[in-house]
A and B are shown apart, each in its own frame.
Chain A
């Protein structure tokens, strides 16, 4: 078996999400190569070469790959991936955008968001917002998989010594151009990688009240998330949404504040090790998954919580 893992990166450094796919690849077993496609991505490629367990890093460095546009990256992945038995990427929005396009170019039915490897062709994956786990077997010659990051530990970022090889291919369809981006800047850890996450819901009332969560988060070294209701209401931006269609998190501690606990939200956080719910409605469904529930008005509980940390 030979496995190609598509690296996620910002050209200068490797996104740690990639390391979860390397572990999934190790569970399948076989040679593991990494594809780093970008524009001026030597920095990311060098980091990729240090990841434990990686044999070879393939680098496609071209202006066409600057913004990870699916139209250009999918044919590259289809071309480079043709010689592999498996092509994997961690299910970030970038991979979810690109991998199905690459799979269709190869006439492969991709398998999304795998949470376990049963064998080289059989995988488990959550369906129906994680209410059911399906075991599925792929009959395609090449398996194209996206990997649920929280279901696989990160491989060691250091200790490997992979060779770096350039890929000459330049796929530029010219169909799409990058206009701009608004990237949230924060000194707090990334939601999907944080050990502690504190999230607010509709009960927070407005965006200003999230300041209470931010100051607690800063004391705990935590990331701040939100329910869909809080994002829809415009309290906070979309990149903070935890849930079925937002980010999937599984920190050591998840604190849900003013969140009722719709199944779509639970889908994004119920694999957290310890769950705390603070809600004034003692019937809220969030309490059915919480290890520690506090029935209280969050506006008095949060300042008290902060002062006791």
Chain B
């Protein structure tokens, strides 16, 4: 079984971003970039499926600028076998990325496509579902458990009410939630090995995909700042403040 894992280069989760001074966008100059945490979980799951003997090949793919090769190398160091970069310097929206990935699915014919449920920059939570629509595949989003058996995958999903389990026919798109697994740290030998693994570069134009944006970013602003309040001395004062000042309990 072949697994395609789609990943994204994003601002590191520890960075608190700020708008640019002219408020036209987010200031990303000299900011630490990383593999999106949810994508890292998706790569780890693919590697575990290979270690269990379920998968035979793992192909990591990303759509982004040339520096995204760093994140593909991270995926290769965790255990992906080869990688594909669809290179573009433009802002790529989820629908455009999904169209690129659909073209990769057509040429690679994976049995399972794993990806993160959302990227922590745009917080869109769309690309997996859109790829599933374009490819006509089944989907299981927000996965916390995956079991593959006989042309199907049984996936447990984290939903608002608790957990839901679906059986999806393969090929399918499964998007990873936080508790699917805990990604390993890549070992130094594996990081060295990853540098020699195959990494192919192509463009959206090579794939015949129109990636022109549909949504224009008009500007960004900081959210309303919360004033830090006061420290209370003890529980009695806290209860008094909540009853008589904030009037939120009676």
- List the interface of chain A (C-beta within 8 A of B): 67, 69-71, 74, 92-94, 96-105, 107-113, 122, 126-140, 173, 175-184, 192, 196, 220, 228, 231-232, 237-239, 244-245, 247, 252-253, 263-264, 270, 273-276, 282, 287-296, 301, 304-305, 308-309
Q: Given A134-B217, A301-B235, A309-B249, A93 and B159 touching (CB < 8 A)?
A: yes
Report yes or no: A176 in contact with B167, Cβ–Cβ below 8 A.
yes
Is B168 an interface position by the 8 A CB rule?
yes
| In the complex, per-residue mask of B105-149: 1 if CB is within 8 Å of any chain A CB, else 0 | 000000000000110111111111111111001111110100000
Report yes or no: A112 in contact with B162, Cβ–Cβ below 8 A.
no
Chain B: minimal CB distance from A180 (Å): 5
Q: Given A176-B168, A274-B248, A133 and B133 touching (CB < 8 A)?
A: no
Report yes or no: B238 in contact with A239, Cβ–Cβ below 8 A.
no
Other-chain contact of B223, A108, A126, A245 (Cβ < 8 Å): A126
Is B163 an interface position by the 8 A CB rule?
yes
Q: Given A100-B126, A301-B235, A74 and B222 touching (CB < 8 A)?
A: no
Is B220 an interface position by the 8 A CB rule?
yes
Q: Which residues of A contact B164 (CB under 8 A)?
A: 67, 178, 180-182
Interface stretch, picked from B13-21, B75-83, B184-192, is B13-21
Is B88 an interface position by the 8 A CB rule?
no
CB contacts under 8 Å to A, within B89-113, are: 93-96, 98
Chain B: minimal CB distance from A225 (Å): 12
Chain B: minimal CB distance from A59 (Å): 23
Q: Which residues of A contact B144 (CB under 8 A)?
A: 238
Report yes or no: B218 in contact with A127, Cβ–Cβ below 8 A.
no
Q: Given A112-B126, A139-B214, A308 and B235 touching (CB < 8 A)?
A: yes
Q: Which residues of B contact A231 (CB under 8 A)?
A: 178-179
Can you name the residue of chain B whose Cβ is closest to the Cβ of A179?
B165
Is B11 an interface position by the 8 A CB rule?
yes
Report yes or no: A132 in contact with B223, Cβ–Cβ below 8 A.
yes
Report yes or no: B118 in contact with A245, Cβ–Cβ below 8 A.
yes
Chain B: minimal CB distance from A233 (Å): 11
Q: Which residues of A contact B160 (CB under 8 A)?
A: 92-94, 192, 239, 247
Is B34 an interface position by the 8 A CB rule?
no
Is B150 an interface position by the 8 A CB rule?
no
- Is chain B's binding surface mostly helix, strand, loop or mixed? mixed
- Is chain A's binding surface mostly helix, strand, loop or mixed? mixed
Report yes or no: B248 in contact with A252, Cβ–Cβ below 8 A.
yes
Report yes or no: A263 in contact with B16, Cβ–Cβ below 8 A.
yes
Is B231 an interface position by the 8 A CB rule?
yes
Report yes or no: A244 in contact with B120, Cβ–Cβ below 8 A.
yes
Q: Which residues of A contact B29 (CB under 8 A)?
A: none
Can you name the residue of chain A whose Cβ is closest to the Cβ of B13?
A264
Interface stretch, picked from B54-62, B64-72, B196-204, B239-247, is B239-247
Report yes or no: A196 in contact with B249, Cβ–Cβ below 8 A.
yes
Q: Which residues of A contact B169 (CB under 8 A)?
A: 175-176
